[in-house]
A and B are shown apart, each in its own frame.
Chain A
Amino acid sequence: MNPIILILGLPLLGFIINGVLGNKLPKIVVGAIGTAAVLGAFVIAILNWSIISQPENNTINLDLFTFLQIDQLSLKVAFQLDRLSIWMTLIITGIGTLIHLYSISYMKEDEGFYKFFAYLNFFIFNMLLLVLGSNFLMMFFGWEGVGLCSYLLIGFWYKNEDYGKAARKAFIMNRIGDLGLLLGMFLIISQFGSLDYSVVFTQIAAGNTSNSMLTAISLLLFVGATGKSAQIPLFTWLPDAMAGPTPVSALIHAATMVTAGIYLTVRCQVLFALSPLTNEIILWVGLGTAVMAALVGLKQNDIKKVLAYSTVSQLGFMFVALGTGAYTTALFHVTTHAFFKALLFLGAGSVIHGMHHEQDIRHMGGLKSKMPLTHLTFLIGTLAISGFPLLSGFFSKDEILTAVFMHNKVAYALLVGSALLTTIYMFRLYFLTFHGQYRNHHYAFEKVHESPINMTLPLMVLAVLSIVGGALNLPAYLTHSEGFLFNWLKPLFMIPQSIHEIDHSTEYVLIGIAVLIFVTGFLIARNIFVTKATIPAETSTGLGGLLQNKFYVDEFYHKVFVRPLEITSSILHDLFDGLILRAFTFGIFPLLKLIGRLNKKVQNGNLEMYLLYMVIAIVLLLGVNLIFA
């Protein structure tokens, strides 16, 4: 029995069972099925680790059937489990399991309970499709599938129009990216006559492809990545996506789906490694995203919005890493980020749950005492993301910074700034939520309660992971060898990625800077929000206002794209279609009628006139045909 079938099949099965007869089953069973399906996939992936880790034939392949056969080009439904995909699989299913577990009680009251779990399982299935596919088509299937699921889950509470809008926004912005991906695939087809990774990558590695072509393809693929991974310019959907239930935000919009773009790039490493121009673009786009999102994160008051922007910013970090060619590092950060960001979201969820769906941090505070577990884990998450030494985030972020430092000093400076901002807004969030005194007048402090065990358990697990996650790829200066992840991925990369040689002194300086950043950020935040105990104002002005309103990007898009499109639509329909074209097409009838009316003048019933006309006609006939002809 091919493990891939099980890995893919179990979530699908869970989706089908829950989707078809979930409304008949009791909730606990539904939850159990959903969780078990994902857990099963996780276990199977673990079991196959040993096979994959063998140096030779380290991939498991599965060819199901031919999807399309266009004369030479044959598109197969085929999967492969190799070092990269199993890594992703473990992240997805692992965190997925925890979040399923968490959701059982988080969604307890919701009448759409079974629907929720069905969607979650379906999402897991699509995500696995994305990472397990052995050709671009399969990846595209997963790619759009996860988009679909995120649409369904963002708009989960369908009665609310705004949620529906957010869901549509997410799907459509993803579609824009998908178009890029699709066109990239077309280019690949026209260039290599196949979509299979193996074929395409070997041909690229062979190096007989024009550079411009590679750049074009990689750029198009990157457009797809920006859509899915919420980079400039297609990032605005992610903050709105927080409309969905919090576990969804944790799973889809923090841990897994949004990292698909990074997965794509790592998967096509050979392609990107050979197109430097693209790398530069990626670098700067990622950098811009990182800084911009971090800035906006400073001024958000919705607990989930802050985390959302932090996610966007962290994704920016990853793309910066990709831009510098440090693919392992990017994936490493994906992993650690999955840990602590999921942790943070779930913690936030726990807070929201404990405070009965209050999300505004200005109405929180002092929750430390009421929900100790949540508080502790959340603190760990915060430390991890803001790079507290020896926590997972510290290592991954440090590697990124190092890579950028080697690559481009300006970029490095900006990124450091962004890291600083990260620390600040994270601790702002932390302090405002858990410290100070309680500020909510609608919901009594007494009623605030800690979440049940099956919500806190995932928190604890993730907390542990966030602490030790760094071990996955320890830097050379500790182990005097390349990190585990680096070696793990090495056989995958057809073009060995640059190991930035760097003398230890510089390295220690960089580490020092990193630590310094953390401390500064922490102190600033503490100074403002603990010592001064500032409460963010309802509306801030000047720069603050700019940040609070997210640089007015949404408004800008609405003015520049949405509105004109709507106007064009009306104009085309009412004016062009309704008047101009109509006049040109159907105007003939009034014209004919007009001529017909002229005939009334002739056919006026007067005998002499008739006779006269006839005589004239006769004369004409005779004249023209006898004299002139």
Chain B
Amino acid sequence: MELILIPILASLIWAFLPIKSRWIASGLSLIGLVVLLTKYNQGSFPDGLVVFDQPWLGESVRFTMVIDQITWFMLLLTQLLLPIIVLSVKDQNQKLIAWAFLMQAGLNGVFMAQDGLIFYLFWELAMIPIYFITLQFSEKDNFVTTIRFFIYTFVGSLAMLASLIYLALLSGGSFAYADLLNTQLSHAQSLIIGGGLLLAFAVKIPIFPFHLWQADTYTNAPAQGSMLLSGIMLKMGLYGLIRWYMPLAAESIDFYQPIVMTLAVIGIIYGGIIAIRQDDMKRITAYSSLSHVGLIAAGFFTLNASGFNGGLLQMLVHGLNVVGMFLIIDIIQKNANTRNLSELGGIASKFKFFTVLFFIIVIGTAAAPLTSGFPGEFMLLNSVFKYNSIHGLLSGLTIILCAVYMLRIFQKAALGSNEIAISEISFVDYLPLIIVAFTVLFIGLFPQVILEIFPLSVEKLMLEISNAKGVLS
């Protein structure tokens, strides 16, 4: 519970007290991490530990918070990324940090909530800040794109709400996860309910045809907004996929699996192909993350252990890498006042260390062995290949496309002859990058350390899913 209260408190402090030091901010955000680490033993329960449980609204809704291994891992992802992001906030928009904290609270809630409506509540709560961040701290008037993004995701959320209400109606008016899980659905019902949930998550992830908001929002949002979005928010969708959609509407998986798999694979290639030609670094990152996240979604939908473990691992990795990319973009933009590859180049001659970090993150994203990108992608591709060799082959193309556009970024931004005027990179700018680069190498070398976090819960989850599927068939 403190994982929700502390950030809210911090956000209030930041919103109304005139503090301006990002060190204090990241200090505040580190508290969450510390608290979480102290909870590791709680997180080690495979079938979850109830950390908070109070009636919220009538008999139907209980404010239930549960931490199991997967949850703990997702919380880790959040608490790990937030300090990095907060540390990189520009001085002139410190107020952004308040929103970031609020969002942290929402995310923690989303990951811990064990009650349908509470889940939805935090889901929205986590979405509000990003909207305000995007609107408030961007360079130009981007109301239209932002409102589109908001409505787009809001429609998805409402579809989810409708499905949850429907589900609760069938489960006898209770939103408790267990009851929803034990509700048996007819085929038609499962299609409607599953479709609603799926829509919400697919928009958030985003899976191929629902990605339109992504590129626009990334390019318009301030770098930190993009980090929060791509680093953590997208993971909400993926988490929802495995924790809420699959077990609850398992009867519909057989129907949706081929559709989603195909769409995801299309998205993988689609994003990759588009990314190789873009000029705006943020756009490239947006489309690359479309393809990466598509791979994760595909991996989940293969419903095999390799896919689940790899997907979870890749969530963390992708979060770190994409945040690293945005950090780099932010630094470059701060100095060169542009992020268009055509106008960049020649950083390497001035900033060797920066270039090294840049390169590490680039190959990390391109999933070179001994970097963090590889193990997750290996497992995911393996699982997709196991599901269907054609899908496997097509989604395998991502390692080629990804190499193409990532190296292109590196080439055009860092290498080359022309000299862009980068004035100075302070230590505060370096620190988050260093952390990310370190994780890239560490996870690349010892992925098993991460995989050790959540094996039991994954097994349990997959068991639940297969049982729920079994109910109908």
Asked if A and B form a direct contact in the complex, defined as CB atoms under 8 angstroms apart, the reply is: yes
User: Among A67, A70, A165, A569, which residue has its beta carbon within 8 angstroms of that of B277?
Assistant: A569
User: Among B152, B273, B305, B346, which residue has its beta carbon within 8 angstroms of that of A568?
Assistant: B273
Given A141-B369, A164-B411: A569 touches B212 (CB 8 Å cut-off): no
User: Among B382, B407, B408, which residue has its beta carbon within 8 angstroms of that of A186?
Assistant: B382
A541 at the interface (CB under 8 A from B): no
Indicate if the CB atoms of B379 and A158 lie closer than 8 Å. Answer: no
B188 at the interface (CB under 8 A from A): no
Nearest 4 A/B pairs, CB to CB: A569-B277, A158-B415, A141-B369, A186-B385
Output the residue of B306, B393, B407 with the most chain A CB within 10 A.
B407
- Measured in the bound complex, the distance between the Cα atoms of B273 and A572 in whole Å is 8
Which parts of B375-405 form the interface with A (CB within 8 Å)? 375, 378-379, 381-382, 385-386, 389, 392-393, 396-397, 399-400, 403-404
Indicate if the CB atoms of B270 and A168 lie closer than 8 Å. Answer: no
B349 at the interface (CB under 8 A from A): yes
Which parts of B322-349 form the interface with A (CB within 8 Å)? 346, 348-349
Chain B residues whose C-beta falls within 8 Å of the C-beta of A568 in the assembled complex: 273
A523 at the interface (CB under 8 A from B): no
- Measured in the bound complex, the distance between the Cα atoms of B389 and A73 in whole Å is 19
CB distance from A282 to the nearest CB of B (A): 21
- Measured in the bound complex, the distance between the Cα atoms of B274 and A573 in whole Å is 6
B9 at the interface (CB under 8 A from A): no
A116 at the interface (CB under 8 A from B): no
B93 at the interface (CB under 8 A from A): no
Chain A residues whose C-beta falls within 8 Å of the C-beta of B378 in the assembled complex: 68, 182
Indicate if the CB atoms of B447 and A179 lie closer than 8 Å. Answer: no
User: Among B277, B389, B397, which residue has its beta carbon within 8 angstroms of that of A566?
Assistant: B277
Indicate if the CB atoms of B411 and A168 lie closer than 8 Å. Answer: yes
CB distance from B91 to the nearest CB of A (A): 32
B420-437 contact mask (Cβ, 8 Å, vs A): 1 or 0: 000000000000000000
Indicate if the CB atoms of A577 and B274 lie closer than 8 Å. Answer: yes
Chain B residues whose C-beta falls within 8 Å of the C-beta of A581 in the assembled complex: 209, 212
Chain B residues whose C-beta falls within 8 Å of the C-beta of A67 in the assembled complex: 375, 447-448
B368 at the interface (CB under 8 A from A): yes
Additional 15 contacts, C-beta under 8 A, given A186-B385, A577-B274: A70-B305, A70-B309, A145-B368, A145-B370, A148-B368, A158-B414, A168-B404, A175-B403, A179-B396, A183-B393, A566-B276, A569-B277, A570-B277, A573-B278, A589-B148
CB distance from A164 to the nearest CB of B (A): 5
Question: What are 18 sample pairs from A and B whose C-beta atoms fall under 8 A apart?
Answer: A68-B379, A70-B306, A140-B369, A145-B369, A148-B368, A159-B349, A159-B417, A164-B415, A179-B396, A179-B397, A186-B382, A186-B392, A189-B382, A190-B385, A569-B277, A572-B270, A572-B273, A582-B212
A585 at the interface (CB under 8 A from B): yes
B363 at the interface (CB under 8 A from A): yes
B35 at the interface (CB under 8 A from A): no
Indicate if the CB atoms of A69 and B448 lie closer than 8 Å. Answer: yes
A178 at the interface (CB under 8 A from B): yes
- Measured in the bound complex, the distance between the Cα atoms of B411 and A190 in whole Å is 37
Given A70-B309, A168-B407, A568-B273: A144 touches B451 (CB 8 Å cut-off): no
Indicate if the CB atoms of B448 and A66 lie closer than 8 Å. Answer: yes
B27 at the interface (CB under 8 A from A): no
Chain A residues whose C-beta falls within 8 Å of the C-beta of B382 in the assembled complex: 70, 186, 189
B237-281 contact mask (Cβ, 8 Å, vs A): 1 or 0: 000000000000000000000000000000000100110111000
CB distance from A243 to the nearest CB of B (A): 13
Chain B residues whose C-beta falls within 8 Å of the C-beta of A586 in the assembled complex: 148, 212
- Measured in the bound complex, the distance between the Cα atoms of B445 and A68 in whole Å is 10
User: Among A160, A165, A182, which residue has its beta carbon within 8 angstroms of that of B417?
Assistant: A160
Indicate if the CB atoms of A178 and B309 lie closer than 8 Å. Answer: no
CB distance from B299 to the nearest CB of A (A): 12
Chain B residues whose C-beta falls within 8 Å of the C-beta of A179 in the assembled complex: 396-397, 399-400
Given A158-B348, A171-B403, A572-B270: A71 touches B305 (CB 8 Å cut-off): yes
Chain A residues whose C-beta falls within 8 Å of the C-beta of B379 in the assembled complex: 68, 70
CB distance from B408 to the nearest CB of A (A): 7
A109 at the interface (CB under 8 A from B): no
A521 at the interface (CB under 8 A from B): no
- Measured in the bound complex, the distance between the Cα atoms of B386 and A190 in whole Å is 7
Chain A residues whose C-beta falls within 8 Å of the C-beta of B276 in the assembled complex: 565-566, 569
A65 at the interface (CB under 8 A from B): yes
- Measured in the bound complex, the distance between the Cα atoms of B277 and A168 in whole Å is 15
- Measured in the bound complex, the distance between the Cα atoms of B302 and A70 in whole Å is 14
Chain A residues whose C-beta falls within 8 Å of the C-beta of B389 in the assembled complex: 183
- Measured in the bound complex, the distance between the Cα atoms of B147 and A586 in whole Å is 11
A residues near B (Cβ < 8 Å) are 65-71, 73, 140-141, 144-145, 148, 151, 155, 158-161, 164-165, 168, 171-172, 175-176, 178-179, 182-183, 186, 189-190, 565-566, 568-570, 572-573, 577, 581-582, 585-586, 589
CB distance from B391 to the nearest CB of A (A): 12
CB distance from A359 to the nearest CB of B (A): 21
Chain B residues whose C-beta falls within 8 Å of the C-beta of A141 in the assembled complex: 369-370
B416 at the interface (CB under 8 A from A): yes
Indicate if the CB atoms of A68 and B447 lie closer than 8 Å. Answer: yes
Dominant SS among interface residues on chain A: helix
User: Among B310, B407, B416, which residue has its beta carbon within 8 angstroms of that of A172?
Assistant: B407
- Measured in the bound complex, the distance between the Cα atoms of B389 and A179 in whole Å is 13
Closest to A589 in B: B148
Chain A residues whose C-beta falls within 8 Å of the C-beta of B448 in the assembled complex: 65-69
Indicate if the CB atoms of A164 and B416 lie closer than 8 Å. Answer: yes
Closest to B407 in A: A168
- Measured in the bound complex, the distance between the Cα atoms of B164 and A493 in whole Å is 62
Closest to A189 in B: B382
- Measured in the bound complex, the distance between the Cα atoms of B404 and A148 in whole Å is 13
CB distance from A195 to the nearest CB of B (A): 11
Chain A residues whose C-beta falls within 8 Å of the C-beta of B310 in the assembled complex: 70
Chain B residues whose C-beta falls within 8 Å of the C-beta of A155 in the assembled complex: 415
Closest to A72 in B: B305
- Measured in the bound complex, the distance between the Cα atoms of B379 and A186 in whole Å is 10
Indicate if the CB atoms of B396 and A182 lie closer than 8 Å. Answer: yes
Chain B residues whose C-beta falls within 8 Å of the C-beta of A148 in the assembled complex: 363, 368
CB distance from A111 to the nearest CB of B (A): 10
CB distance from B271 to the nearest CB of A (A): 10
- Measured in the bound complex, the distance between the Cα atoms of B400 and A182 in whole Å is 12
Chain A residues whose C-beta falls within 8 Å of the C-beta of B400 in the assembled complex: 172, 175-176, 179
CB distance from B128 to the nearest CB of A (A): 21
- Measured in the bound complex, the distance between the Cα atoms of B61 and A75 in whole Å is 45
- Measured in the bound complex, the distance between the Cα atoms of B408 and A145 in whole Å is 19
Given A168-B411, A179-B399, A569-B274: A159 touches B212 (CB 8 Å cut-off): no
- Measured in the bound complex, the distance between the Cα atoms of B348 and A159 in whole Å is 9
Indicate if the CB atoms of B451 and A69 lie closer than 8 Å. Answer: yes
Closest to A158 in B: B415
Closest to B408 in A: A168
Chain B residues whose C-beta falls within 8 Å of the C-beta of A68 in the assembled complex: 375, 378-379, 447-448, 451
Indicate if the CB atoms of B417 and A186 lie closer than 8 Å. Answer: no
CB distance from A233 to the nearest CB of B (A): 15
Chain B residues whose C-beta falls within 8 Å of the C-beta of A158 in the assembled complex: 348, 414-416
Chain B residues whose C-beta falls within 8 Å of the C-beta of A168 in the assembled complex: 404, 407-408, 411
CB distance from B220 to the nearest CB of A (A): 15
Closest to A568 in B: B273
- Measured in the bound complex, the distance between the Cα atoms of B269 and A592 in whole Å is 34
- Measured in the bound complex, the distance between the Cα atoms of B447 and A570 in whole Å is 37
- Measured in the bound complex, the distance between the Cα atoms of B417 and A155 in whole Å is 13
Indicate if the CB atoms of B396 and A183 lie closer than 8 Å. Answer: yes
Chain B residues whose C-beta falls within 8 Å of the C-beta of A569 in the assembled complex: 273-274, 276-277
Indicate if the CB atoms of A585 and B369 lie closer than 8 Å. Answer: no
Indicate if the CB atoms of B212 and A577 lie closer than 8 Å. Answer: yes
Chain B residues whose C-beta falls within 8 Å of the C-beta of A566 in the assembled complex: 276-277
Indicate if the CB atoms of B274 and A171 lie closer than 8 Å. Answer: no
Given A71-B305, A566-B276: A172 touches B404 (CB 8 Å cut-off): yes
Chain A residues whose C-beta falls within 8 Å of the C-beta of B381 in the assembled complex: 182, 186
Output the residue of A67, A172, A566 with the most chain B CB within 10 A.
A67
Closest to A70 in B: B306
Chain A residues whose C-beta falls within 8 Å of the C-beta of B152 in the assembled complex: 585
